[in-house]
A and B are shown apart, each in its own frame.
Chain A
């Protein structure tokens, strides 16, 4: 989950009214924000990726005003239509990054903290909605450094400009191979011969989306008017991003002027509110509380939406940046939040069903109880294990290996097809503990099938200096006979790497092989650095005691 750092005094000022620190800290969780840490006046907050407007203190302050009842309903934004601001789209961008959208924010001021927050918000938007800048990406510019109209087109990789935070001109190729952002996001434009670019009317490079802006238009605390441009391969995602930035800058005190967009299926963004009709029955059916229509309207307004009663239903206006609201069910949640989750009383209704454990659970438990009765300690190992434990140390056949892709842990790269190797590994890690050591494990093992077959196995292992085949065979037969009345036999088997020559067998029940048993070979024990005798067996329970 993304994190935002806030200063509580700044929040207080933005929320206004006589709000206290305690009120703020108490209400934050009810906006769905988790307080991760609190050091003095600085707090770190985790927000959900579905609410990118909470990535700055402006957005959070807007939410707090609502729940605290200081300001309710939508913050109306009026976009001035007249102006010289325009961008034309060239058809050459079609194949690489076809859409651009944007707006001009005017007459505002951003301090260093606000600029830093906006930059962080930009990165979170790039990661979430932008899918690492692939789907859409954003650029903020000092509009006063730009001669309008703009052109969104493509240029060759030899094109040069001074990138943001740079001093000298660099070619597109140099930016892609030498800068951090170039290396991180260059894959988005792949190997295209020509790359997206935004020029102003004097042919100055403004931006090289989705990689980097030009140094020319850097936003500073002296910037009054800002150009926000968003490019992407998804028009909707681009406008989603734009709407979030607009809502934040609006709270920061900016006004807006339209940026006329034309060419190549692009159009000027409307950023209009969405209307949704809400059926109030959902409130009682879903939340379980009875509420008057006017009360629901208040709840929605506290969540910074607009709402009014229309006959027996509610007409709700949803600002453009609340694209997380898909359907009436989302409005139900808004009503619950506006009402206050803390005020909703849990209710325990009697169950009309009778609970039942699964047969596999019941029978596995029975078997475990017998194993404990015979003096065995239960072990639990991961299904994902290492090639070393499963195959190399045990010299088992690895032709049917099932691997996962790109595991971050060397110890967890393949799915186990047997339980005994992990139990040997357990003994190996406990050589300093007192003997005898007796372990068992029940668990799922995996094999290639349609596409993967899963079955439940039981493995048992004994380690002490005097243990032998007879001891483990007696245990095996007792385990199957107790409760399950299964009579098993052992038959001489082909030599196997895991077991000592002439001291192992196949286990049969009703002439079906269900597993293997024997004394572990001394070479294998050496691989696990075990210095005592070990015997063990493993059987397949699926098909034996349950389906």
Chain B
């Protein structure tokens, strides 16, 4: 609980510490605060368990018209006794003095008090004093109140009050509800002076602000890029729109392969690359296809423009053009698949793909690079399984154990480019190649189970991821 007080709270606390149990009105007077400020301050203190509010009801009594008359002239029964002091009187005679309802009341009460006796004659009744009429409790009460107002506590004989209350217009009863404020024990010993140092409520809630930031998926791409740069790899870029020649033919994918169909690959409408590659590259690649796949290779198929289905087309083109003797190269970027979008499939996603040519290019080296990469991502439980890719031989895939999901997850694929891929492009040395999707790693990192979240640009996610 905060010990920093508003000025209002402070004034109320200080006043009550000096004089406990005050009504709001008293507090207003003593603190010189408005009654509204007092009410607010009391409520704040009450919520902080510092103040107690005692609500009470105060009842007071004063005399009504009949009561005042009786106080001055006596009750009707006392008036009757005064009439009878000298001698008994008939009803007739009494009525002439005590008129109306007063007569009945006087007779009834005097009789009840045992003051009078009534003898019946033929024509009238005769009333006489029976014994000495002493002062009744009601009469005592009347003289106590007199012209004052008394509180309930001052009434010594509640029964007499009850009797008088039952008689019309004798007593005026008023009831007034009132509040008094007191402090809890904790509040009594509080030192309110600390708040005068300019301290504020440091525990109160504040409005949210959001950090501007780079996209979480971009952060993952950058992290992975950084790891490969540190492993000696240099980055190359290439177009997302590619000729089928570089996306498929150069990678030994036969022209009637199912992966090349419209239903798997995005072809650009009415767009062709007239010269996708040099004439010798086209000649060598086509003869490799004819020799090994034994079919009629067509230039027109290789000229069709596609959205790249992998970044391998970028690295193989680089190799074919630069023919480096010793290089570590990688490329990262968007790739495309004509798929139905779902929680695990996107039509467009990011892939990283790298190659090693030159020294230390065995399968064991390839596995070593992968292992180091995963280690830098904090993934240490990995294993390799054989798999199949059309353009590498041998081919492996990395399996990474995910503790949270409790299962092995397939991550990057890798292999050594087939001679059928490299030889026609004039590359004589073995080329290690590896690659895979980045979203899958980012999903593990951000604990997402729907890959679409990365491209929804949902601000509540971006602001909190």
Q: Which A positions have Cβ atoms within 8 angstroms of B?
A: 29-32, 34, 48-51, 127-128, 131, 135, 234, 236, 284-289, 326-327, 329-330, 332-333, 336-337, 341-342, 344-349, 351-358, 360-361, 365, 368, 371-384, 402-409, 411-412, 415, 426, 429-430, 433-434, 437-439, 444, 446, 451-452, 454
A356 to B228, CA, bound (A): 9
B258 and A128 contacting across the interface, CB-CB below 8 Å: yes
A380 and B348 contacting across the interface, CB-CB below 8 Å: no
A-B contacts, 8 listed (Cβ < 8 Å): A32-B387, A355-B233, A368-B214, A374-B212, A377-B463, A407-B338, A409-B341, A439-B457
Residue of B whose beta carbon sits closest to that of A349: B360
A373 to B271, CA, bound (A): 41
A433 and B460 contacting across the interface, CB-CB below 8 Å: yes
Interface residues in B427-464 by Cβ distance below 8 A to A read 430, 454-460, 462-463
B457 and A405 contacting across the interface, CB-CB below 8 Å: no
Residue in contact with A404 in the complex, picked from B239, B269, B396, B458, CB distance below 8 Å:
B269
Smallest CB separation, B277 vs chain A (Å) = 14
- Residues of chain B lying within 8 A (CB to CB) of residue A29: 385-386, 399
B456 and A346 contacting across the interface, CB-CB below 8 Å: no
B218 and A361 contacting across the interface, CB-CB below 8 Å: no
| Contacts A346-B371, A348-B369, A355-B234 supplied; 4 other A-B pairs, CB < 8 Å | A326-B420, A405-B267, A415-B268, A446-B240
- Residues of chain A lying within 8 A (CB to CB) of residue B416: 286, 329
B231 and A355 contacting across the interface, CB-CB below 8 Å: yes
A451 and B393 contacting across the interface, CB-CB below 8 Å: no
- Residues of chain B lying within 8 A (CB to CB) of residue A438: 212
| Number of CB contacts from chain A to chain B under 8 A | 255
B217: interface (CB < 8 Å): yes
Residue in contact with B454 in the complex, picked from A347, A380, A404, A415, CB distance below 8 Å:
A380
3 closest Cβ contacts across the A-B interface?
A351-B232, A288-B362, A48-B388
A198 to B345, CA, bound (A): 44
- Residues of chain A lying within 8 A (CB to CB) of residue B274: 451
- Residues of chain B lying within 8 A (CB to CB) of residue A354: 232, 234
Residue of A whose beta carbon sits closest to that of B462: A377
A347 and B368 contacting across the interface, CB-CB below 8 Å: yes
- Residues of chain B lying within 8 A (CB to CB) of residue A405: 262, 266-269
- Residues of chain B lying within 8 A (CB to CB) of residue A337: 386, 394
B305 and A451 contacting across the interface, CB-CB below 8 Å: yes
Residue in contact with B213 in the complex, picked from A48, A329, A358, A372, CB distance below 8 Å:
A372
B343: interface (CB < 8 Å): no
- Residues of chain B lying within 8 A (CB to CB) of residue A32: 385-388
B187: interface (CB < 8 Å): no
Interface size on B, residues (CB 8 A): 92
- Residues of chain A lying within 8 A (CB to CB) of residue B196: none
B367 and A347 contacting across the interface, CB-CB below 8 Å: yes
A429 to B452, CA, bound (A): 14
Interface residues in B212-232 by Cβ distance below 8 A to A read 212-215, 217-218, 222, 225, 228-232
A234 to B293, CA, bound (A): 11
A285 and B430 contacting across the interface, CB-CB below 8 Å: yes
B462 and A329 contacting across the interface, CB-CB below 8 Å: no
B457 and A429 contacting across the interface, CB-CB below 8 Å: yes
A29 to B396, CA, bound (A): 11
B327 and A353 contacting across the interface, CB-CB below 8 Å: yes
Smallest CB separation, A128 vs chain B (Å) = 7
- The CB with the most chain A CB atoms within 10 A, among B295, B368, B457, is that of B457
A234 and B463 contacting across the interface, CB-CB below 8 Å: no
Known contacts A236-B294, A355-B233, A451-B305; is-contact A349 B385 (Cβ 8 Å): no
B454 and A345 contacting across the interface, CB-CB below 8 Å: no
A230 to B367, CA, bound (A): 42
A289 to B371, CA, bound (A): 18
- Residues of chain B lying within 8 A (CB to CB) of residue A236: 294
- Residues of chain A lying within 8 A (CB to CB) of residue B458: 429-430
A333 and B393 contacting across the interface, CB-CB below 8 Å: yes
A344 and B364 contacting across the interface, CB-CB below 8 Å: yes
A377 to B295, CA, bound (A): 52
Residue in contact with B258 in the complex, picked from A131, A404, A408, CB distance below 8 Å:
A131
B168: interface (CB < 8 Å): no
Q: Mark B318-354, 1 if CB is under 8 A from A, else 0.
A: 0000000011100000101011110000111000000
B393 and A329 contacting across the interface, CB-CB below 8 Å: yes
A288 to B430, CA, bound (A): 12
B237 and A360 contacting across the interface, CB-CB below 8 Å: yes
Residue in contact with A355 in the complex, picked from B229, B294, B295, B394, CB distance below 8 Å:
B229
Smallest CB separation, B396 vs chain A (Å) = 7
B9: interface (CB < 8 Å): no
A406 to B262, CA, bound (A): 7
A408 to B347, CA, bound (A): 9
- Residues of chain B lying within 8 A (CB to CB) of residue A444: 240, 334
Smallest CB separation, A46 vs chain B (Å) = 10
Residue in contact with B386 in the complex, picked from A30, A289, A380, A429, CB distance below 8 Å:
A30
Residue in contact with A379 in the complex, picked from B215, B229, B358, B368, CB distance below 8 Å:
B215
B328 and A351 contacting across the interface, CB-CB below 8 Å: yes
Residue in contact with A349 in the complex, picked from B269, B368, B459, CB distance below 8 Å:
B368
A404 to B258, CA, bound (A): 18
Smallest CB separation, B234 vs chain A (Å) = 4
Residue of A whose beta carbon sits closest to that of B263: A406
A356 to B214, CA, bound (A): 22
- The CB with the most chain B CB atoms within 10 A, among A333, A371, A380, A438, is that of A380
- Residues of chain A lying within 8 A (CB to CB) of residue B369: 348
Interface residues in B405-443 by Cβ distance below 8 A to A read 410, 416, 418-420, 430
A402 to B430, CA, bound (A): 39
B268 and A346 contacting across the interface, CB-CB below 8 Å: no
- Residues of chain B lying within 8 A (CB to CB) of residue A373: 212
B370: interface (CB < 8 Å): yes
- Residues of chain B lying within 8 A (CB to CB) of residue A358: 235-237
A288 and B268 contacting across the interface, CB-CB below 8 Å: no
Residue in contact with B235 in the complex, picked from A361, A404, A451, CB distance below 8 Å:
A361
- Residues of chain B lying within 8 A (CB to CB) of residue A403: 268-269
Residue in contact with A347 in the complex, picked from B210, B230, B338, B365, CB distance below 8 Å:
B365
- Residues of chain A lying within 8 A (CB to CB) of residue B430: 285-286
B266 and A346 contacting across the interface, CB-CB below 8 Å: no
Interface residues in B114-132 by Cβ distance below 8 A to A read none
Smallest CB separation, A155 vs chain B (Å) = 28
A411 and B341 contacting across the interface, CB-CB below 8 Å: yes
- Residues of chain A lying within 8 A (CB to CB) of residue B217: 380
B309: interface (CB < 8 Å): no
A382 to B336, CA, bound (A): 10
A287 to B366, CA, bound (A): 10
A356 and B234 contacting across the interface, CB-CB below 8 Å: yes
A332 to B386, CA, bound (A): 13
B235 and A357 contacting across the interface, CB-CB below 8 Å: yes
B372: interface (CB < 8 Å): yes
Q: Mark B378-390, 1 if CB is under 8 A from A, else 0.
A: 0000011111101
B368 and A329 contacting across the interface, CB-CB below 8 Å: no
A412 and B347 contacting across the interface, CB-CB below 8 Å: yes
Smallest CB separation, A61 vs chain B (Å) = 18
Residue of B whose beta carbon sits closest to that of A127: B258
B213 and A356 contacting across the interface, CB-CB below 8 Å: no
A429 and B456 contacting across the interface, CB-CB below 8 Å: yes
B235 and A327 contacting across the interface, CB-CB below 8 Å: no
B292: interface (CB < 8 Å): yes
Smallest CB separation, A524 vs chain B (Å) = 18
- The CB with the most chain A CB atoms within 10 A, among B385, B399, B454, is that of B385
B15: interface (CB < 8 Å): no
Smallest CB separation, A499 vs chain B (Å) = 22
